[in-house]
């Protein structure tokens, strides 16, 4: 009997120890609740001073974790083992997360600062009525070019890239939607087009571009352009701003035919433990003063109309990164085309990459 009691006591001690360790692990791995708030965001995508300011104002302790792709973010949230109170997915991923029932509807009565968002960026196709999301940053896909390496030549459109004088001068970002979309836009088709004839036309035209393509690359595109390893690059506007800060000879243009309008957005995942704290944080980030501070730190375009008035004119008045209404009407958000159509885009992009010069 004594041996049984000792064994039971030992098991109890181990169980309590495991419970303690689980609690500690949950805290560090993102299990929020009580007086903590766990935020899941892209790396270096918020001014750290704003996190401290939020903590001081609310008394809520922020746990900040990062991801490097929308797919990695969704996988971790869908697995459900780790709790996040606020996440920042891109617009096309919100459609997927909605279908998987991974998002909590937002209580707009607790988001009074939503009124400061530019109406152009609300009620878009990926989230009608902004039921699940609030814009965080936005931008475009466009062309960075070095006029001094091009003999003073300026780039204004996608079709300029097919100029025979640009042989081996262009770097393309390694993305099927971006490159196939560029081909579609150059033909004045929608970058969400699923018409097979249109897709084949875009692919054939992209094949004719290949002699001008120096490489199809990932993040290194920023370093290569800044170091003048190539004179032209197709990039996201946020990357363009970073590249241009390192090399003043570079310029950025949103092509005249139109392009992609992308958004990163604040949402509350289904597994959130501190929904009230999440709403307080989202509303805090919508405050014009905080939004302006964040935009200046990160370098991306803010959708907060009131915040623009607080930014330096050199930033807020730069139409390359804050295009006017006429240009934004030519821009499209990526729609979730479904597995079959996305597979077709990826297939065409792979064929293009394998095309010999």
**164-179, pLDDT tens digit by residue?**
999 999 999 998 999 9
Contact assessment for residue 155 and residue 245, using Cβ atoms and an 8 Å cutoff:
no
- Tell me how crowded residue 193 is: count the other CB atoms within 10 A of its CB: 21
> In the prediction, which pLDDT does 309 show?
96
pLDDT digits over 98-120, tens only? Answer: 999 999 999 999 999 999 999 99
Q: Which residues of 33-50 are buried (b: 16+ CB within 10 A; e: fewer)?
A: eeebbbbbbbeebbbeeb
Query: 309 or 5: which carries more pLDDT confidence?
Result: 309
Beta strands in 93-202 (DSSP E): 134-146, 170-173
pLDDT tier for residue 31 given thresholds of 50, 70 and 90:
very low
Structure tokens given for 244: 């241009």
Q: How far apart are CA 36 and CA 60, in angstroms?
A: 5
- Residue whose C-alpha is closest to residue 87's, from 52, 63, 110, 111: 63
User: For residue 26, what pLDDT band results from cuts at 50, 70 and 90?
Assistant: very low
Closest to 319 (Cα-Cα) out of 237, 224, 250? 237
Does the pLDDT value for residue 10 go beyond 60? Answer: no
31 is in an annotated binding site: no
Is pLDDT at 203 greater than 70 in this prediction? yes
Q: Tell me what pLDDT residue 6 has.
A: 60
**Widest pairwise Cα distance in the chain:** 93
The burial of 122, by beta-carbon neighbours within 10 Å (0-12 exposed, 13-18 middle, 19 or more buried), is given as middle
CB atoms within 10 A of CB 9: 10
Contact 299, 246 (CB under 8 A): no
Q: What pairs with residue 42 in β-bridges?
A: 67
52 token code pair: 């401290």
**pLDDT averaged over every residue in the chain:** 91
> Predicted confidence band at 7 (pLDDT cuts at 50, 70, 90)?
low
Task: Give residue-wise pLDDT tens across range 228-277.
Answer: 999 999 999 988 998 999 999 999 999 999 999 999 999 999 999 999 99
pLDDT, residue 219, reads: 84
- β-pair partners for 36: 33, 61
pLDDT-based confidence at residue 9 (cuts at 50, 70, 90): low
- Predicted pLDDT at 189: 97
Specify the pLDDT at position 282. Answer: 98
Report the pLDDT averaged over residues 20-41: 63
Q: What is the pLDDT of residue 73?
A: 94
CB 68 within 8 A of CB 248: no
Q: Which two tokens stand for residue 185?
A: 């836009």
The DSSP output letter for 190 is -
Instruction: Kindly list the structural domains of the chain, giving each domain's residue range(s) and its CATH number in brackets, ordered by start.
Output: 12-137+264-317 (3.40.190.10), 139-261+323-354 (3.40.190.10)
Confidence (pLDDT) at 99: 92
Q: Say which residue, 32 or 125, is predicted with more confidence.
A: 125
Mean pLDDT calculated for residue range 170-191: 95
CB 83 within 8 A of CB 273: yes
Q: Which of 130, 134, 261, 249 is nearest to 192 (CA)?
A: 261
Quick one: pLDDT at residue 19? Answer: 54
d(CA 130, CA 135) in angstroms, rounded, equals: 9
Q: What is the pLDDT of residue 357?
A: 58
């Amino acid at each position: 009997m004594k041996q049984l009691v000792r064994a039971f006591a030992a098991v109890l001690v181990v169980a309590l120890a495991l419970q303690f360790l689980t609690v500690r692990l949950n805290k560090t791995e993102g299990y929020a609740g009580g007086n903590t708030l766990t935020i899941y965001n892209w790396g270096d995508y918020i001014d750290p001073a704003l996190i401290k300011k939020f903590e001081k104002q609310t008394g809520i302790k922020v746990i900040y974790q990062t991801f490097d792709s929308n797919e990695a973010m969704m996988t971790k949230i869908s697995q459900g083992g780790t709790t996040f109170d606020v996440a920042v997915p891109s617009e096309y991923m919100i459609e997927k997360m909605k279908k998987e029932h991974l998002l909590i509807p937002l209580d707009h009565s607790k988001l009074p600062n939503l009124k400061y968002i530019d109406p152009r960026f609300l009620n878009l196709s990926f989230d009608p009525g902004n039921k699940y999301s609030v814009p965080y940053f936005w931008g475009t896909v466009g062309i960075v070019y070095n006029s001094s390496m091009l003999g003073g030549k300026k780039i204004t459109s996608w079709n300029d890239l097919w100029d025979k004088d640009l042989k081996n001068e262009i770097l393309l970002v390694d993305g099927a939607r971006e490159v196939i979309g560029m081909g579609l836009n150059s033909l004045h088709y929608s970058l969400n087009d699923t018409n097979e004839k249109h897709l084949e036309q875009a692919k054939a035209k992209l094949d004719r571009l290949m002699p001008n393509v120096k490489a199809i690359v990932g993040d290194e595109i920023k370093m290569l352009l800044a170091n003048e390893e190539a004179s032209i690059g197709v990039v996201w506007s946020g990357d363009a701003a970073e590249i241009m800060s390192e090399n003043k000879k570079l310029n950025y243009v949103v092509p005249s035919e139109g392009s992609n309008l992308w958004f990163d957005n604040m949402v509350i995942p289904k597994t959130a433990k501190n929904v009230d704290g999440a709403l307080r944080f989202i509303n805090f980030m919508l405050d014009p003063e905080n939004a302006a501070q964040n935009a200046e730190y990160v370098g991306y375009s803010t959708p907060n109309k009131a915040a623009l008035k607080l930014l330096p004119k050199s930033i807020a008045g730069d139409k390359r990164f804050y295009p006017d209404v006429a240009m934004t009407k030519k821009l499209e958000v990526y729609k979730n085309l479904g597995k079959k159509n996305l597979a077709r885009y990826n297939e065409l992009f792979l064929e293009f990459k394998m095309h010999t010069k």
